[in-house]
Amino acid sequence: MSRIGKSPVNIPSGVDVKLNGNVISVKGPKGELSQEIDSCVTVNIEGNVITFSRESDAPNHRAKHGLYRSLVNNMCIGVMEGFKKELEVIGVGYRATATGQQLELMLGYSHAIVLEFPKEIKVSADTQKGKAPVVTLESYDKQLIGQVAAKIRSLRKPEPYKGKGIRFLGEEVRRKAGKSAGKK
Protein backbone atom coordinates (compact mmCIF):
# COMPACT_ATOMS: atom_id res chain seq x y z
CA MET A 1 0.00 0.00 0.00
CA SER A 2 1.02 3.57 -0.62
CA ARG A 3 2.03 5.27 2.60
CA ILE A 4 0.54 8.54 1.44
CA GLY A 5 -2.55 7.01 -0.16
CA LYS A 6 -3.59 4.91 2.82
CA SER A 7 -3.46 7.75 5.37
CA PRO A 8 -6.92 9.33 5.77
CA VAL A 9 -7.74 12.99 5.12
CA ASN A 10 -9.35 14.80 8.05
CA ILE A 11 -12.03 17.33 7.07
CA PRO A 12 -11.65 20.53 9.15
CA SER A 13 -14.76 22.05 10.70
CA GLY A 14 -16.31 24.62 8.40
CA VAL A 15 -15.38 22.66 5.26
CA ASP A 16 -18.08 20.89 3.22
CA VAL A 17 -17.04 17.90 1.07
CA LYS A 18 -19.37 16.33 -1.50
CA LEU A 19 -18.82 13.36 -3.81
CA ASN A 20 -20.86 13.35 -7.01
CA GLY A 21 -19.97 10.31 -9.11
CA ASN A 22 -16.23 10.61 -9.66
CA VAL A 23 -16.01 14.37 -8.95
CA ILE A 24 -15.18 15.51 -5.41
CA SER A 25 -15.95 19.12 -4.48
CA VAL A 26 -14.67 20.92 -1.39
CA LYS A 27 -16.21 24.17 -0.16
CA GLY A 28 -14.86 26.33 2.65
CA PRO A 29 -14.65 29.92 3.86
CA LYS A 30 -11.94 30.90 1.32
CA GLY A 31 -13.48 29.33 -1.79
CA GLU A 32 -14.63 26.21 -3.60
CA LEU A 33 -12.57 23.61 -5.49
CA SER A 34 -13.43 20.43 -7.35
CA GLN A 35 -11.34 17.55 -8.68
CA GLU A 36 -12.21 14.65 -10.96
CA ILE A 37 -11.03 11.32 -9.50
CA ASP A 38 -9.88 8.47 -11.77
CA SER A 39 -12.09 5.36 -11.74
CA CYS A 40 -9.25 3.17 -10.39
CA VAL A 41 -9.36 5.06 -7.05
CA THR A 42 -12.38 4.71 -4.73
CA VAL A 43 -13.27 7.57 -2.36
CA ASN A 44 -15.15 6.92 0.89
CA ILE A 45 -16.44 9.79 3.08
CA GLU A 46 -17.43 8.84 6.64
CA GLY A 47 -18.13 11.64 9.11
CA ASN A 48 -15.19 14.01 8.95
CA VAL A 49 -12.69 11.53 7.43
CA ILE A 50 -12.02 10.76 3.75
CA THR A 51 -10.31 7.47 2.85
CA PHE A 52 -8.95 6.34 -0.51
CA SER A 53 -8.50 2.81 -1.87
CA ARG A 54 -7.31 1.46 -5.23
CA GLU A 55 -8.57 -1.46 -7.25
CA SER A 56 -5.22 -3.18 -7.95
CA ASP A 57 -1.46 -2.98 -7.37
CA ALA A 58 -0.66 -1.90 -10.93
CA PRO A 59 2.05 0.82 -10.94
CA ASN A 60 -0.23 3.53 -12.38
CA HIS A 61 -2.98 2.67 -9.87
CA ARG A 62 -0.48 2.92 -7.00
CA ALA A 63 0.71 6.30 -8.28
CA LYS A 64 -2.83 7.69 -8.61
CA HIS A 65 -3.75 6.43 -5.14
CA GLY A 66 -1.27 8.77 -3.44
CA LEU A 67 -1.80 11.56 -5.98
CA TYR A 68 -5.56 11.94 -5.45
CA ARG A 69 -5.19 11.68 -1.67
CA SER A 70 -2.66 14.56 -1.75
CA LEU A 71 -4.80 16.65 -4.11
CA VAL A 72 -7.90 16.31 -1.90
CA ASN A 73 -5.84 17.03 1.24
CA ASN A 74 -4.45 20.21 -0.39
CA MET A 75 -7.99 21.22 -1.37
CA CYS A 76 -9.19 20.85 2.24
CA ILE A 77 -6.24 22.87 3.59
CA GLY A 78 -6.57 25.50 0.85
CA VAL A 79 -10.25 26.34 1.33
CA MET A 80 -9.70 26.60 5.09
CA GLU A 81 -6.29 28.32 5.46
CA GLY A 82 -5.03 29.13 1.95
CA PHE A 83 -1.51 28.99 0.51
CA LYS A 84 1.20 31.62 0.12
CA LYS A 85 4.28 31.82 -2.12
CA GLU A 86 6.92 34.55 -1.93
CA LEU A 87 9.44 35.37 -4.67
CA GLU A 88 12.49 37.67 -4.43
CA VAL A 89 13.47 39.81 -7.42
CA ILE A 90 17.26 40.20 -7.10
CA GLY A 91 19.29 42.38 -9.46
CA VAL A 92 20.36 45.98 -10.03
CA GLY A 93 17.43 47.87 -11.54
CA TYR A 94 15.02 44.94 -11.18
CA ARG A 95 11.64 46.18 -9.95
CA ALA A 96 8.20 44.73 -9.21
CA THR A 97 4.94 46.65 -8.82
CA ALA A 98 1.49 45.18 -8.24
CA THR A 99 -1.75 46.98 -9.07
CA GLY A 100 -4.95 44.98 -8.60
CA GLN A 101 -4.63 41.71 -10.52
CA GLN A 102 -1.60 42.88 -12.53
CA LEU A 103 2.10 42.55 -11.79
CA GLU A 104 4.61 44.73 -13.64
CA LEU A 105 8.19 43.46 -13.64
CA MET A 106 11.31 45.30 -14.82
CA LEU A 107 13.89 42.54 -15.30
CA GLY A 108 16.61 44.12 -17.42
CA TYR A 109 14.84 43.58 -20.73
CA SER A 110 14.10 46.48 -23.10
CA HIS A 111 10.46 46.44 -21.96
CA ALA A 112 8.42 45.92 -18.82
CA ILE A 113 6.67 42.56 -18.40
CA VAL A 114 3.03 42.85 -17.33
CA LEU A 115 1.30 39.71 -16.04
CA GLU A 116 -2.47 39.40 -15.54
CA PHE A 117 -3.58 37.00 -12.78
CA PRO A 118 -6.85 35.08 -12.36
CA LYS A 119 -9.25 36.28 -9.66
CA GLU A 120 -8.37 33.30 -7.43
CA ILE A 121 -4.88 34.73 -6.82
CA LYS A 122 -4.16 37.81 -4.71
CA VAL A 123 -0.85 39.44 -5.66
CA SER A 124 1.18 42.07 -3.81
CA ALA A 125 4.69 43.48 -4.21
CA ASP A 126 6.68 44.85 -1.28
CA THR A 127 9.63 47.13 -2.04
CA GLN A 128 11.85 48.36 0.79
CA LYS A 129 14.85 50.59 0.34
CA GLY A 130 18.10 48.61 0.30
CA LYS A 131 16.33 45.24 -0.08
CA ALA A 132 15.20 43.18 -3.05
CA PRO A 133 11.50 43.49 -3.96
CA VAL A 134 9.34 40.60 -2.71
CA VAL A 135 6.32 39.42 -4.71
CA THR A 136 3.69 37.64 -2.58
CA LEU A 137 1.05 35.36 -4.10
CA GLU A 138 -1.91 34.12 -2.02
CA SER A 139 -4.61 31.67 -3.08
CA TYR A 140 -6.70 28.73 -1.92
CA ASP A 141 -5.69 26.63 -4.98
CA LYS A 142 -2.23 25.08 -4.46
CA GLN A 143 -1.89 23.85 -8.05
CA LEU A 144 -2.72 27.25 -9.55
CA ILE A 145 -0.46 29.24 -7.21
CA GLY A 146 2.46 26.86 -7.87
CA GLN A 147 1.99 27.13 -11.64
CA VAL A 148 1.84 30.95 -11.54
CA ALA A 149 4.91 31.18 -9.25
CA ALA A 150 6.87 28.90 -11.60
CA LYS A 151 5.84 31.06 -14.58
CA ILE A 152 7.07 34.23 -12.81
CA ARG A 153 10.37 32.54 -11.88
CA SER A 154 10.88 31.35 -15.47
CA LEU A 155 10.91 34.96 -16.73
CA ARG A 156 14.42 35.44 -15.26
CA LYS A 157 15.84 32.35 -13.53
CA PRO A 158 18.61 32.96 -10.97
CA GLU A 159 21.99 32.77 -12.67
CA PRO A 160 24.95 31.10 -10.90
CA TYR A 161 27.62 33.81 -11.29
CA LYS A 162 26.09 36.96 -9.77
CA GLY A 163 22.92 35.40 -8.34
CA LYS A 164 20.63 37.80 -10.24
CA GLY A 165 17.09 36.74 -11.13
CA ILE A 166 13.80 35.73 -9.55
CA ARG A 167 13.94 33.09 -6.83
CA PHE A 168 11.63 31.72 -4.15
CA LEU A 169 12.13 33.29 -0.74
CA GLY A 170 14.79 31.23 1.05
CA GLU A 171 15.92 29.38 -2.11
CA GLU A 172 19.64 28.67 -2.21
CA VAL A 173 21.39 29.28 -5.53
CA ARG A 174 24.66 27.41 -6.12
CA ARG A 175 27.25 30.02 -6.99
CA LYS A 176 30.10 29.42 -9.42
CA ALA A 177 33.52 31.03 -9.41
CA GLY A 178 34.00 33.53 -12.20
CA LYS A 179 36.72 33.57 -14.79
CA SER A 180 40.17 33.56 -13.16
CA ALA A 181 42.50 36.50 -13.74
CA GLY A 182 44.53 36.52 -16.98
CA LYS A 183 48.23 35.59 -17.21
CA LYS A 184 50.79 38.31 -16.46
Domain ranges of the chain: 3-80, 83-168
State the pLDDT at residue 3.
81
Which residues in 30-59 are b (16+ Cβ under 10 Å) and which e? Answer: beebeeebeebbebeeeeeebebebeeeee
| Counts of helices then strands in the chain (DSSP H, E) | 3, 13
State the pLDDT at residue 96.
93
Q: What percent of the chain has pLDDT over 70?
A: 97
pLDDT tens-place string over residues 2-29 = 688 888 888 888 889 998 988 999 999 9
| Pick among 3.20.20.70, 3.90.930.12, 3.40.50.1100, 3.40.50.10320: CATH of 83-168 | 3.90.930.12
Question: Would 3-80 and 83-168 be classified into the same CATH topology?
Answer: yes
On whether the CB atoms of residues 163 and 175 are closer than 8 A, the answer is yes
d(CA 49, CA 65): 16
d(CA 184, CA 172): 36
d(CA 43, CA 19): 8
Q: Is the pLDDT of residue 184 over 80?
A: no
For 135, other C-beta atoms within 10 Å of its C-beta total 25
Predicted TM-score (pTM) of this structure: 0.86
Q: 86 phi and psi, to 5 degrees?
A: -120, 135
On whether the CB atoms of residues 175 and 160 are closer than 8 A, the answer is yes
d(CA 168, CA 158): 10
pLDDT tens-place string over residues 158-177 = 999 988 999 999 888 898 88
State the pLDDT at residue 1.
46
Q: What percent of the chain has pLDDT over 90?
A: 54
pLDDT tens-place string over residues 44-102 = 888 889 998 988 888 888 888 989 999 999 999 999 999 999 999 998 989 999 998 99
> For the structural domain made of 3-80, what CATH number should be given?
3.90.930.12
